[in-house]
Structure 1
Amino acid sequence: MRHAKPLPGSLVQRYLGWKATTFAENAPWYRRLATEGQRPRAMVISCCDSRVHVTSIFGAEQGEFFIHRNIANLVPPYEPDGLRHGTSAAIEYAVTELKIGQIIVLGHSLCGGVQGCEAMCSGQAPELERPESFVGRWMDMLRPGYERVKGITDPAARREALEKQAVLTSLDNLMTFPFVADAVTANEIQIHGLWNDITEGVLEIYDAKADAFIPL
Structure 2
Amino acid sequence: MQHAKPLPSYLVQRYHGWKATTYKDNQAWYHRLADEGQRPRAMVISCCDSRVHVTSIFGADQGEFFIHRNIANLVPPYKPDGLQHGTSAAVEYAVTALKVAHILVLGHSNCGGVQGCLDMCSGHAPELEETSSFVGRWMDILRPGYDRVKELPSESQRDALEKQAVIVSLENLMTFPFVAEEVEKGRLSLHGLWNDIGEGGVEHFLPETGGFQPI
User: Structure 2-normalised TM-score?
Assistant: 0.99
Write the mapping of 1:61-80 to structure 2, written as runs, cut at 5 A. 61-80=61-80
Q: Equivalent residue for 1:92? A: 92
Does residue 1:102 correspond to 2:102, yes or no? yes
Q: Equivalent residue for 2:189? A: 190
Runs in 1 of length 4+ with deviation above 4 angstroms?
none
Q: Equivalent residue for 1:118? A: 118
Does residue 1:50 correspond to 2:42, yes or no? no
Q: How many Å separate the matches in 2 of 1:153 and 1:181?
A: 35
Post-superposition offset of 1:2: 3.1
Q: How many Å separate the matches in 2 of 1:103 and 1:146?
A: 23
Q: How many Å separate the matches in 1 of 2:77 and 2:154?
A: 30
Q: How many Å separate the matches in 1 of 2:63 and 2:94?
A: 13
Deviations 1:111-158 (A, max 9, x none): 000000001111111110000000000000111211111121142x21
Deviations 1:72-130 (A, max 9, x none): 00000000111100000000000000000000000000000000000111111111000
Deviations 1:142-184 (A, max 9, x none): 11211111121142x2111000000000000000000000000
**How many aligned positions are there?**
215
Q: How many Å separate the matches in 2 of 1:126 and 1:39?
A: 44
Q: How many Å separate the matches in 2 of 1:154 and 1:204?
A: 22
Q: Equivalent residue for 1:28? A: 28
How many percent identity over aligned positions?
Answer: 71
Q: Equivalent residue for 1:199? A: 198
Q: Equivalent residue for 2:169? A: 170
Q: How many Å separate the matches in 2 of 1:196 and 1:58?
A: 12
Q: How many Å separate the matches in 1 of 2:198 and 2:124?
A: 26
Q: How many Å separate the matches in 2 of 1:169 and 1:211?
A: 12
Q: Equivalent residue for 1:10? A: 10
User: Structure 1-normalised TM-score?
Assistant: 0.98
Does residue 1:145 correspond to 2:140, yes or no? no
**Where in structure 2 are there 5+ consecutive unaligned residues?**
none
Q: CA RMSD, aligned part only?
A: 0.7
Q: Equivalent residue for 1:160? A: 159
Q: How many Å separate the matches in 2 of 1:202 and 1:59?
A: 14
SS at match of 2:18: helix
**Where in structure 1 are there 5+ consecutive unaligned residues?**
none
